[in-house]
Chains A and B, each alone.
Chain A
Amino acid sequence: MIITRKKNFNKILEYLEGKTTVFLFGCNACAEQCETGGENEVKEMTNLLEKRGKKITGFSIPDETCYTMLIKKTFRENRDDITAADALLVMACGAGVKAVADIAGDEKPVFPALDTLYLANVARYGHFSEGCAMCGECLLGETGGICPHTDCPKGLLNGPCGGVVNGKCEVNIQNECAWIRIYTRLKKQGRLEVLKRITPPKDYSVQIKPRNTIIESRKKTQ
């Protein structure tokens, strides 16, 4: 689940200055669950913009706005409304905005209505916590399934810093120190020797951007 947050409405008005007609995109996947880009939020945005004198030419809430094929389909199905819009406003994560912008081409301005925050676990509906930092070199096998990249604000790889207060993290005292949790779990599993090995520095070359992947079975059909 990709977590998003609504941008300040004034920022959106700033984007749309001088634009009178707008087409809205939501997203029925992550943004719907975050209550940032589902049907309710698209309606709410429609009302807010109409109050400011904007005309909403139409809207679409694709099942997954990050799917380029779905966006192409949306463009086909809403050709007139999209053509009539001075700008497209996307209430989805950054990948959704990018998908819309790629299809919209060079002439049509596309703006984000949300900020994209992190990849989350869902504890229950509406309760999210950062799940994975997507570092490209999974360490969870050495850390008892607790991620120092994701859960330690410093991303330390060789144990706790001096900022542990009774097992809590100094950066946010509500949080358990990731390294104390790792230590406790490895100890229970009789695997403390793993903690005693020096973990080498991370290889950030695996994160050189932008990254693209085509899975093996699809390579022939691309």
Chain B
Amino acid sequence: MLTLRDALTSNRFVITAEICPPKGTDTTAFIKNAQLLKNRIAAANVTDNQRAVMRLSSLACSVLLLKEGIDPVFQMTCRDRNRIALQSDILGAWTLGISNILALSGDHVSFGDHREAKPVFDLDSVQLVQTISKLNNARNMNDTSLNSGTDFLIGAVVAPEANPLEPEMIKFEKKVLAGARFFQTQAFYDMENFKRFYEYAKRFDVKILAGILLLKSAKMAHFLNKNVPGVTVPTNIIEELESAPDQLEKGIEIAARQIRELKTFCDGAHIMAIGQEENVPKIIESAN
């Protein structure tokens, strides 16, 4: 099996993609999407109740990917579990064969389909990274030694277009200090701006996978600008989509173009296709 760890140490351009677990127990479409991505990507991220909408667990879906021969990136948010449950699930993930975790704060429950839920946030993303590092050293977060530990490749996220940027960069550095070794970035469309971030980030011993969000239509671009924090689709991209006969095709072309350019300087790309996973192979092929 191709692994993310091997890919990141190979110094080749690394591509990961996101797959969203199903809303229920029928995993047919999830597995089908996963099979389409097999051997085309280094690893597949499994989202953890993304946007606070309850879905099949990220841990279970990560194991399903392993069975398909795909290296999963087990996404873990701090929203739904306290420190005991988080650590226990991290250990559990390791024993089930998972070796990459992406640590996130998580979207607030007020966005999701269970607005009445208690938002946990017992730890934050920096503390979660720190906790995984401890478990990697066979100790729990209170320094009690474990009979055997984990050896996760720890990832985290960063928003290169955050405004203001400095507090986001301070947090990025804390995540690095806590033990994050790769970063998957929030989606961006301004490549020059991203290059500046990349130059800064490369001062640290981390791999950066640039966030590529597939634009399905100009309508989606407007929606992102209005509703999704930290993502800005510039006017020229929106116009490009609007003037295209097939907006989805144009979106695929834009994503491929971004990846082609990233290949000239960046460690890799992380493709988020949100419901369009079947188009990820096309993006990757067009970027060759």
A binding-site residues for B, Cβ under 8 Å: 153-167, 170-171, 179-180, 183, 187, 192, 195-196, 198-202, 204
A171 engages B108 (CB within 8 Å): yes
8 contacting pairs across A/B (C-beta < 8 A): A153-B119, A154-B105, A154-B106, A158-B171, A159-B168, A163-B230, A196-B173, A199-B127
A164-B127 CB under 8 A given contacts A153-B108, A158-B174, A198-B174: no
Chain B positions near chain A (C-beta within 8 angstroms): 78-79, 83, 105-108, 110-111, 119, 121-127, 130, 141, 157, 159, 162-164, 166-168, 170-171, 173-174, 177-178, 186, 229-230
Contacting residues, chain B, for A155 (C-beta < 8 A): 121
Chain A neighbourhood of B83, CB < 8 A: 201
Which of B119, B126, B141, B186 is within 8 Å of A198, CB to CB?
A: B126
Answer whether A154 and B170 are a contact pair too, CB < 8 Å, given A161-B105, A164-B229, A198-B178: no
User: Are A162 and B127 in contact, with the CB atoms below 8 A?
Assistant: no
Among B106, B125, B127, B171, chain A packs the most CB atoms within 10 A around the CB of B171
A79 → chain B closest CB, angstroms = 43
User: Which secondary structure dominates chain A's binding surface?
Assistant: loop
Are the CB atoms of B119 and A164 closer together than 8 Å?
no
Cβ-Cβ contact count across A and B, 8 Å cutoff: 94
Q: Which A-chain residue is minimally distant from B110 (CB atoms)?
A: A171
Select one of B79, B107, B108, B124 contacting A158, CB under 8 A.
B124
B163, A158: Cβ atoms under 8 Å? no
B174 adjacent to A180 (CB under 8 Å): no
A167 to B111, CA, bound (A): 19
Which residues of the partner chain A approach B78 to less than 8 Å between Cβ atoms?
A: 154
* Contact status A154-B108, CB under 8 Å: yes
Chain A residue nearest to B130 in the complex (CB): A198
A165 contacts across to B, CB distance below 8 A:
163, 229-230
Report the separation of the CA atoms of residues A206 and B111 in the bound assembly, to the nearest whole angstrom: 30
Q: Which residue of A lies closest to B131 (CB)?
A: A201
Max chain A C-beta neighbours (<10 A), residue from B110, B229, B230: B229
| B105 pairs with A162, CB closer than 8 A | yes
